[in-house]
């Protein structure tokens, strides 16, 4: 469809006879159809039909989908502040349902302001979810309730929510890969909230997100793999971490991630600045780098595990307090390296040299970063992104 179409009898079968509105084009779509949308700005809220695909990035002359350029031919779907999701996907849909290449913005509903999906297995890729949600929203960018939704190569920026400013997923099989979450804010879960989920969160960038409570990524009662992600200069408020928080009886593999320049402004003694594992959660924390994370509370560690965790082969650089866990913890701690960490773990002598653990310059920590001037984002953007790039190859 093309907003510039002047056809007197549109049928959507050619650019010459294109529909001028997305709603009309979707109403004519059948299962298995593709709806091609030409560049432009459309103020609509949409209901996708079952098993239809919505693609953007067309100039209005293409004869094959491969000819489109969704970056050059920007296509914006603006919810206009409506009290319904900007895009609603049909329940129980298949992988044929796709939303690909759009900027979705200005939705304000309380459940899935940008997109609502309840069941099925759609593919959501190459989109930008921008300025969505409110302080009452669950799932600022996307809400997913059950199903096996694939969310990849999207950008989530400047969204806000009560919980899950980027994504909220409930009882779902999560596949969240190669997305960017930046400058989002929430009361809980500034980027992603996973509730009773399974799946993988892999190769995403989390940059300058802020939450008042909990963590940048919250995982509750879920069995999830967090692999090859980068957390840079995120901020957490009370009872949370600037990276990942795992709670309420779950299982987490946290491997090959970078946690850098995070700020935990306050919190209880059993919380952490980067990774927090609650009692009843089994966590495998392998091969991560923790560097220059800050806490405004003395004794708040980079990693806190309240129950059994396997903490193996991690690098801690300039962390004020690296690890914390109860005295009777059954955690397995081996082959970690601490560099210029003031307190590797409560009693340094009990940890250093144990099971292959190495340490250098203990107690000689570089000067901490200054307290954030506003919203935890005092660090210049170029330095944040250089830090992420510099450690991507060695960490990921």
Q: Are 224 and 194 in contact (CB under 8 A)?
A: yes
Kind and range of the H or E run holding 210:
strand 210-213
What are the residue ranges of helices labelled H in 282-380? 348-351
Q: Are 135 and 107 in contact (CB under 8 A)?
A: no
pLDDT in tens, the chain (396 residues): 677 787 777 888 999 988 988 999 999 999 999 999 999 999 999 999 999 999 999 999 999 999 999 999 999 999 999 999 999 999 988 899 999 999 999 999 999 999 999 988 999 999 999 999 999 999 999 999 989 999 999 999 999 999 999 999 999 998 999 999 999 999 999 999 999 999 999 999 999 999 998 899 999 999 999 999 999 999 998 777 899 999 888 999 999 999 999 988 765 455 778 999 988 899 999 999 999 998 766 667 889 887 778 999 999 999 888 888 776 666 788 899 988 887 777 544 455 555 666 766 665 554 444 444 433 334 445 444 544 554 554 443
Encoded tokens for 43:
């103020």
The pTM of this model reads: 0.89
Q: How far apart are the first and last CA of the chain?
A: 41
User: Among residues 217, 55, 71, which one has the least CA distance to residue 155?
Assistant: 71
Q: Are 70 and 101 in contact (CB under 8 A)?
A: yes
pLDDT number for residue 320: 80
User: Among residues 379, 377, 363, which one has the least CA distance to residue 318?
Assistant: 363
Domain 38-60+67-395 sits in CATH 2.160.20: yes
Report the C-alpha gap between 87 and 142 in whole angstroms.
Answer: 9
List residues bridging with 227 in a β-sheet. Answer: 202, 255
DSSP 67: G
Report the C-alpha gap between 84 and 255 in whole angstroms.
Answer: 38
**CA torsion sign, 279 to 280 to 286 to 288?**
negative
Domain assignments of the chain as residue spans, ordered by start: 38-60+67-395
């Amino acid at each position: 469809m093309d907003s510039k179409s002047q056809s007197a009898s549109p049928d959507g079968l050619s650019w010459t006879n294109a529909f001028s509105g997305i709603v009309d084009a979707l109403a004519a779509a059948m299962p298995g159809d593709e709806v091609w949308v030409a560049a432009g700005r459309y103020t609509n809220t949409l209901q996708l039909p079952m098993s239809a695909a919505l693609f953007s990035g067309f100039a209005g002359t293409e004869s094959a989908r491969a000819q489109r350029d969704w970056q050059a031919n920007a296509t914006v779907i603006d919810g206009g502040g409506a009290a319904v999701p900007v895009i609603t996907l049909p329940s129980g849909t298949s992988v044929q349902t796709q939303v690909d290449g759009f900027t979705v913005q200005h939705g304000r509903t309380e459940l899935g302001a940008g997109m609502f999906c309840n069941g099925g297995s759609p593919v959501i890729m190459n989109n930008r979810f921008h300025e969505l949600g409110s302080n009452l929203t669950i799932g600022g960018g996307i809400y997913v309730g059950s199903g096996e939704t694939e969310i990849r190569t999207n950008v989530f920026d400047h969204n806000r929510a009560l919980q899950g400013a980027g994504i909220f997923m409930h009882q779902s099989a999560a596949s969240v890969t190669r997305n960017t979450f930046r400058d989002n804010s929430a009361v809980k879960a500034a980027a992603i909230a996973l509730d009773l989920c399974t799946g993988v969160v892999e190769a995403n960038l989390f940059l300058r997100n802020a939450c008042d409570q909990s963590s940048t990524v919250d995982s509750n009662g879920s069995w999830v793999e967090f692999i090859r992600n980068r957390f840079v200069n995120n901020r957490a408020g009370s009872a949370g971490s600037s990276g990942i928080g795992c709670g309420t009886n779950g299982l987490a593999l946290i491997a090959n991630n970078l946690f850098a320049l995070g700020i935990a402004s306050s919190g209880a003694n059993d919380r952490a600045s980067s990774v927090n594992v609650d009692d009843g959660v089994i966590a495998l924390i392998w091969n991560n780098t923790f560097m220059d994370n800050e806490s405004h509370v003395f004794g708040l560690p980079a990693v806190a595990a309240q129950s059994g965790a396997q903490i193996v082969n991690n690098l801690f650089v300039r962390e004020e307090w690296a690890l914390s866990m109860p005295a009777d913890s059954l955690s397995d701690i081996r082959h970690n390296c601490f560099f210029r960490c003031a307190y590797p773990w409560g009693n340094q002598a009990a940890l250093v040299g144990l099971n292959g653990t190495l340490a250098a310059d203990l107690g000689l920590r570089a000067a901490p970063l200054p307290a954030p001037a506003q919203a935890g984002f005092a660090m210049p953007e170029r330095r944040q992104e250089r830090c992420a790039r510099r450690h991507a190859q060695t960490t990921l």
